[in-house]
Amino acid sequence: MTHLSEDGEGRNHYGPWVWTAYRAHNELLREKLKKRFDAQEGPWLDKVADVLVEIVNARWEGGRKKEKELEQLYAKLESLLEE
């Protein structure tokens, strides 16, 4: 096993382990944050996601959807974002 020397040799030996630890820490924090956001904002985010899916589908359908329907969906999204 290599120890760090004054010229920095050996850092390459430990570097991958240190970066793996940092990544694991960040992934754990990310998962915990996702759980908190889901618990607090999940129902609202579900509504936003539903409206966004409706908008995308309406735009894909093109001529089959009237412009007024699309405007109503945008208004619904704006209302949710203002909550």
Whether 6 is in a domain gets the answer no
> Residue 33: inside a domain, yes or no?
yes
Spatial contact of 73 and 51, defined as CB atoms under 8 Å apart: yes
Give, in order, the Cα–Cα distances in Å from 83 to each of 2, 34, 77: 57, 20, 10
Residue 23 counted as domain residue: yes
Q: Which domain holds residue 27?
A: 11-81
Q: Specify if 2 maps to a domain.
A: no
pTM, to two decimals: 0.56
Classified as helix, coil or strand, 83 is: coil
Q: How many domains does the chain have?
A: 1
pLDDT 10s digits, 23-70:
999 999 999 999 999 999 999 999 999 999 998 888 877 766 677 788
Q: How many residues does the chain have?
A: 83
- 1 domain residue, yes or no: no
- DSSP class of 7: T
Per the domain annotation, does 48 fall within a domain? yes
